[in-house]
Amino acid sequence: MATNTYCTATNYGKNFFTHEDRNAFFLSGHPGDVWVVGNNPAGVSWINRVSGTAKTKAEAQAIVDGEVETAQVAWDALSAEEKSRNSRPVKYILP
C-alpha cells in the first residue's frame, strides 16, 4: 500500500485542516492546490471532506512542476534589484 495519496483541493481557510487532522495523518500543501496526504482512513476522509480530487503522483507532480515553471518565468523577468530580494523557485520531487 502506498504511504501517501495525492489530490487537488482549494484551501478555503479556517478549518480546511485542523490540529486534529494534522495529528491523524501526514499533510503537506504544494503549488497548484496539490496536497500530499497520508494514505490512511483519516487522510482519505479529509480528502472527501474538502471535496478533493484524487490524482496520481505523476499527475500531482506535473501540476506542481507547471506552477514552479510559471514562477521561474516570472522571476526571470524581474529586475536585478527585485531578484536580489528572493531566490529563483526550484523544482522538487513530491514525497
pLDDT in tens, 68-82: 999 999 999 999 999
62 forms beta bridges with none
pLDDT in tens, 13-51: 999 999 999 999 999 999 999 999 999 999 999 999 999
Amino acid identity for residue 39 in this structure: N
Cβ-based neighbour number of residue 50 at 10 Å: 18
For the chain, where are the E strands, in sequence order? Answer: 4-8, 27-30, 34-38, 53-55
Gap between the Cα atoms of 40 and 49, Å rounded: 14
pTM recorded for the entire structure: 0.93
